[in-house]
Chain A
Amino acid sequence: MLGLNSLSKFFRKTIGPRIEALGLLPHRYYLHRALDALEEDDIDEAVRMVTLAGNDKKDARWRLVCQQVIFRCRILVSQHEKQLLRFETEMEIFGKPSELTDTYLRLQKAEEQARDILRNYELSLFNQLNGFKSDSVTAE
Chain B
Amino acid sequence: MDRKLSIPGGLTGALLGLAAELALEEITGMEIVNGLLAVIGAGFGLIRIDRRIYEATVNLLKRVPVEPNSDYRDVLEQIDEMSLELPELRESFVKLVQAGIEAQKA
Q: Which residues of B contact A75 (CB under 8 A)?
A: 63-65, 82
The secondary-structure label for the interface of chain A is: helix
Q: Give the contact-size bracket for chain A.
A: 20 to 34
B69 within 8 A of A: no
- Total number of A-B contacts with CB less than 8 angstroms? 77
Contact (Cβ within 8 A) A64 B53: yes
When the two chains form the complex, which single residue of A8, A26, A32, A67 contacts B89, counting CB atoms closer than 8 Å? A67
Contact (Cβ within 8 A) B56 A35: yes
B residues contacting the other copy or chain, number (CB 8 A) = 32
B11 within 8 A of A: no
Q: Which residues of A contact B39 (CB under 8 A)?
A: 5, 8
**Interface hub of B24, B28, B63 (most chain A Cβ within 10 A):** B63
A35-B88 CB under 8 A given contacts A5-B35, A8-B35, A75-B65: no
Contact (Cβ within 8 A) B49 A31: yes
B15 within 8 A of A: no
Contact (Cβ within 8 A) A61 B53: yes
B57 within 8 A of A: yes
